[in-house]
Chains A and B, each alone.
Chain A
Amino acid sequence: MGKRIAKEVSIAVAEAVKQCRVDVIAAYPITPQTHIVEHLSELVANGELDAEYITVESEHSAISACLGSVATGARTFTSTSAQGLALMHEILFITSALRLPVVMVVANRALSAPISIWNDHADIMAQRDVGWIQTFAENGQEAVDLVYHAFRVAEDRRVMFPAIVNIDGFTLSHMIEPIELPDQEQVDQYLPPFKPRYKLDPRKPISIGPVGIPEIYTEAKKAQDEAFKNAYRVIIKAWDEFEKIFGRRYRPVETYRMEDAEVALLIMGSLAETAMTAVDRMREAGKKVGLVRIRLWRPFPLRDFVRAVKGVKMLAVVDRALSPGATGGPVAVEVRSALYQVPGRPRVVSFIAGLGGRDVTVEDFEEMADKAYFYLKKKPKESYEMIGVKE
Chain B
Amino acid sequence: MIEVRLHGRGGQGAVTSAELIAVAAINQGKYAQAFPSFGPERRGAPVQAFVRVSEEPIRTREKIYFPDVVLVLDPSLPSIVNVTAGLKEDGLVILNSHKDEKELREMLGGWRGRLAVVDATKIALEELGLPITNTTMLGAFLKATGLVDQKYLEEALEERFGRLAEKNKKAMARAIKEIKIYQ
Contact = CB atoms under 8 A, between A and B. Distances in A.
A6 B23 contact: yes
Contacts of B111: none
A273 B27 CA distance: 22
B151 interface: no
A276 B39 CA distance: 26
Interface stretch (B57-65, B95-103, B172-180): B57-65
Interface stretch (A175-183, A225-233, A307-315): A175-183
A12 B29 CA distance: 19
A175 B62 contact: no
B59 A277 contact: yes
B92 to A, nearest CB: 22
A58 interface: no
Given A6-B22, A178-B26, A178-B31, A359 B38 contact: no
B4 to A, nearest CB: 13
B140 interface: no
B22 A273 contact: no
B62 to A, nearest CB: 5
B39 A118 contact: yes
Interface residues of A, number: 27
A270 B61 contact: yes
Given A4-B26, A5-B26, A359 B62 contact: yes
Given A171-B61, A277-B60, A176 B35 contact: yes
B60 A176 contact: no
A383 interface: no
A274 interface: yes
Nearest to B25: A6
B84 interface: no
Given A273-B60, A361-B62, A6 B27 contact: yes
B19 interface: yes
B26 A274 contact: no
Contacts of B39: 117-118
Contacts of B63: 359
Contacts of B75: none
Interface in B1-43: 18-19, 22-23, 25-27, 31-36, 38-40
A357 interface: yes
Contacts of A118: 38-39
Given A176-B35, A178-B31, A362 B60 contact: yes
Contacts of B23: 6, 176
Contact of A176 (B34, B38, B40, B62): B34
A5 B155 CA distance: 13
A118 B25 CA distance: 28
A177 B33 contact: yes
Contacts of B22: 6, 176-177
Contact of B60 (A8, A117, A172, A274): A274
Contact of A271 (B19, B27, B36, B61): B61
30 contacts: A4-B26, A5-B27, A6-B19, A6-B22, A6-B25, A6-B32, A117-B40, A118-B39, A170-B35, A174-B38, A175-B35, A175-B61, A176-B18, A176-B22, A176-B23, A176-B35, A177-B26, A177-B32, A177-B34, A177-B58, A178-B31, A270-B61, A273-B58, A274-B59, A274-B60, A277-B60, A357-B38, A360-B62, A362-B60, A362-B62
Given A177-B31, A277-B60, 5 more contacts: A171-B38, A171-B61, A176-B32, A277-B59, A362-B62
Interface of A: 4-6, 8, 32, 117-118, 168, 170-172, 174-178, 270-271, 273-274, 276-277, 357, 359-362
